[in-house]
């Protein structure tokens, strides 16, 4: 795990990337009635769906660095998918009410689209070399911000997940709960091997192949139900079955790290992202400043005040 991107002393952080992503997401046409014959459905709520091709677009829209982070940490991609689904659901409601046809809304959509295009254009004019920053700059940034690079308590977890899909019947939900309780008894009373049971029984097939291993997770990324279930558990302990929105989970604690200052190795990737973002913003400002210096923007303030007086 790496800490959150640090805030550098004396620098102003930018939301250029975040706003570009938000604008791109808001302007996508949506996937509420897509032909899914050759395009698997990734997420769905009623008639609103998100397909594999939509996820490909999502990854393409966020840029190479954030895309690499998502591929390295699937939880980031899961968060983006959920955010996009919420947007599509609300967008479906708005379009049904013809909200998008209102002149003021259409103008705001155009401004958002223009902003996304401009941001992408400027970023392309000041692209950073892939090897920026060098290791010396990373070490200096770590030394200057070490006290701020805090990591929360971390758990190395393995899980057995019993899925309860949305819309499941009461009988299905009760069966899943019974199955989770039975597996928990096998682990605690029968002393069964956790990894073996995970491979055979966990509905999270990606982690099941590795005996349910979730690797290291920061306490800050866990939903409240899981934080509560893990509180006080020590290395080797097995949790009670925990119910969440997607089903039942049984966890085994494979390791615990207390909260503390991140090492340089743990902070390395976050520092690189922060330094690249900071330098990119600086270069963008220089690019725009030079352009305006060559030919400033001229505003007829008299006419402008006339418009405000109408």
Task: Give the tokens for residue 137.
Answer: 């700059």
Fold exhibited by the domain 153-258: Chitinase A; domain 3 (3.10.50)
The pLDDT tens digits of the residues spanning 81-95 come to 999 999 999 999 999
The answer, as to whether pTM is greater than 0.85, is no
Domain ranges of the chain: 13-127, 131-147+262-276, 153-258
How many Å apart are CA 283 and CA 14, to the nearest integer? 12
* pLDDT of amino acid 22: 35
- The SS3 assignment for 218 reads strand
The model's pLDDT over 173-184, given as tens digits with 9 standing for 90+, comes to: 999 999 999 999
Mean pLDDT of 231-251: 93
- For residues 16 and 5, give the distance between their C-alpha atoms in angstroms, rounded to a whole number: 15
Measured distance CA(234)–CA(218) in Å, rounded: 15
Q: Which of 39-43, 72-76, 248-252 has the lowest mean pLDDT?
A: 72-76
Structure tokens of 89? 């659901």
Between CA 193 and CA 186 the distance in angstroms is 9
- Per-residue confidence (pLDDT) for residue 5, from 0 to 100: 38
Q: pLDDT, tens digit, for every residue of 99-136? A: 999 999 999 999 999 999 999 999 899 989 989 999 99
Q: Given this model, what pLDDT does residue 37 score?
A: 56
pLDDT band at 48 (very low <50, low <70, confident <90, very high): very high
- Among residues 268, 270, 158, which one has the least CA distance to residue 216? 158
Q: What is the mean pLDDT of the chain?
A: 85
């Amino acid at each position: 795990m790496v800490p959150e991107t640090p805030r550098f002393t004396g620098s102003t952080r930018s939301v250029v990337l975040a706003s570009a992503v938000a604008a791109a997401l808001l302007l996508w046409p949506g996937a509420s009635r897509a032909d899914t014959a050759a395009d698997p459905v990734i997420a769905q709520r009623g008639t609103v769906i998100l397909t594999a091709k939509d996820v490909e677009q999502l990854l393409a829209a966020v840029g190479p660095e954030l895309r690499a982070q998502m591929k390295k940490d699937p939880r980031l991609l899961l968060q983006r998918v959920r955010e996009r689904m919420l947007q599509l659901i609300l967008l479906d409601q708005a379009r049904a009410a013809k909200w998008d046809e209102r002149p003021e809304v259409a103008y705001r959509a155009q401004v958002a689209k223009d902003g996304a295009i401009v941001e992408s254009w400027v970023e392309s004019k000041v692209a950073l070399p892939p090897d920026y920053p060098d290791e010396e700059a990373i070490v200096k940034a770590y030394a200057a911000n070490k006290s701020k690079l805090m990591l929360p308590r971390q758990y190395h977890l393995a899980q057995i997940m019993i899925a309860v899909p949305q819309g499941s019947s009461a009988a299905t939900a009760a069966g899943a709960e019974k199955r989770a309780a039975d597996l928990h008894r096998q682990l605690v009373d029968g002393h069964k091997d956790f990894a073996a049971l995970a491979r055979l029984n966990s509905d999270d097939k990606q982690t099941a192949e590795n005996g349910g291993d979730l690797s290291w997770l920061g306490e800050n990324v866990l939903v409240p139900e899981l934080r509560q279930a893990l509180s006080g558990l020590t290395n080797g302990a097995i949790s009670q079955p925990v119910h969440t929105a997607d089903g039942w989970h049984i966890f085994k604690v494979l390791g615990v790290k207390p909260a503390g200052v991140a090492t340089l190795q743990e902070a390395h990737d976050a520092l690189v992202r922060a330094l690249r973002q900071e330098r990119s913003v600086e270069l963008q400002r220089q690019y725009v400043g030079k352009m305006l210096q060559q030919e400033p923007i001229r505003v007829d303030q008299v006419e402008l005040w006339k418009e405000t007086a109408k």
